[in-house]
Amino acid sequence: MEPAMGMGIVALMGAAATVAGCSEDLESDIGSQSNPNSQVQLAAQVGYPHRIFNKAISGEPPSNAMYCAVGAGVAMVLMSESVMSASPLIAIAIGAFVAALLNGVFSTTSYMGRNASQTRFNQYVYLDVLRNQILSLMGHAYITTFCIVLLSYVMWNQDLIGHPFPFPVIALIWGLCVGAIGSSTGDVHYGAEREFQDFKFGAGLNAADSGNITRYAEAGIRSSMDNAWFCSKFGGPVTGIAFGMTVFLDNWRSTAFGGWVSVAVGTAIVILLIIYNRKIETYARNKYGPFPEYAGDIEA
């Protein structure tokens, strides 16, 4: 493959990954999956029944791995010569659609199941909450799965990058990866940024304050759509950039260089990012403190 073509493919994969990361984070924010889910789950128990979608399919990494592996598996069947030799784009679109349907089923059962298991805390199962959010969840899951299965296909195809792993396994790994990045990068902005701005920097969060996340939005009781609106301003895009950079830098170093040089470049990228992150952290602590050193005698 020509170098220009190779770099073009890498750029395309990075772009697809950026979109996938953004939609993955927004999907998990609408459904309050992963990190915010603990607070939504606790809310009813600390006296705050709510109308927020409680989507506990598992952590984000396994559930996104599931959508992507299923999408790729279905696409692989449709593309195989013994079935219908479908064009890759159509096959991936249908695979992503099946994955979105699974997202709908698993989301429904977790919303209904979790709320029915909290009846004693006065937590209701609101069917309008289910109906209102489920299509946006499935829509975002479709975009995520489509982009990730597409970039996995580009990696797997022998004429393009030609990765030795099978197609669904590559999709499974990238699904795990986007879930992990969405969980660690994006979810922070759901709760920490918005709800706890009046807390002292570095003060930590008392468990009794957890339920606050389900209370008020700009107008009235907060709904899951408010969370998506808020998170689409920063949390979603920053997740997309993080995942897009992961995919782009990883493929760029192995496309532009070869052998041990690409390993050295990868190590250099990791070291640079660690130093950069440390700089940002110390800058933020100094700028937004006070952040007293722990002396061992502060009551929790």
Partner 1 sequence: MSEPTETANQIDAKGIIIGLVGIYIAGIAAPAGMPYLAFLAGIGALFATKMGADAVRRVCSYGIGTGVPSIGMLALGMGIIAAMFGLAFGKMVHAPFIGPIVGLALALAIGFVVGSLANKIIKLNIPVMERCLTEIAGAGVLVLTGFSVMIAGSMDFVVISEKVITTGYIAPVFILGALGILHPFNASLGPDETQDRTLIHAYSCGAIAMTIGGFCSIAAIGAVAGLITTVVGLAIWYVTFMGFVKLVKRDAGAGYVGTGLLPPGAM
Site of interaction with partner 1 (CB under 8 A): 38, 41, 47-51, 56-59, 62-63, 65-66, 69-70, 72-74, 76-77, 80, 82-83, 98, 102, 105-106, 109-110, 112-128, 165-172, 221
The whole-angstrom separation of Cα 149 and Cα 167 is: 9
Residue closer to partner 1, measured from CB, 71 or 240: 71
Nearer to partner 1, 91 or 238 (CB): 91
Taking the complex as a whole, how short is the minimal distance between the CB of residue 262 and partner 1, in angstroms? 25
Cβ burial of 179 (10 Å; 0-12, 13-18, 19+) is buried
| 22 CB-contact burial (10 Å; exposed 0-12 / middle 13-18 / buried 19+) | buried
Half-sphere exposure at residue 252, Cβ-oriented, CA atoms within 13 angstroms: 14
CB closer to partner 1 out of 7 and 46: 46
| Minimum gap (Å) between residue 159 Cβ and partner 1 | 18
Q: Which amino acid is at 287?
A: K
> Which residues are within 8 A (CB) of 189 and not within 5 positions of it... i.e. 6 or more apart?
230, 231, 234, 235, 238
Q: Which is nearer to partner 1, 23 or 183 (CB)?
A: 183
Task: Name which of 114 and 253 has its Cβ closer to partner 1.
Answer: 114
CA–CA dist 79, 11 (Å, integer): 25
Q: To which residue do tokens 């990494």 refer? A: 61
- AA letter at 295: A
Q: How near is the Cβ of 227 to partner 1 at its closest, in Å?
A: 17
Smallest gap from residue 66 Cβ to partner 1 (A): 4
> Shortest approach of partner 1 to residue 190 CB, angstroms?
17
3-30 and 127-156 helices, crossing angle to 10°: 160
Using CA atoms, how far apart are residues 16 and 279, in angstroms rounded to an integer?
30
Give the single-character DSSP code of 296: S
Using the minimum distance from each CB to partner 1, give the nearer residue, 21 or 59.
59
Least separation in angstroms between CB 106 and partner 1: 7
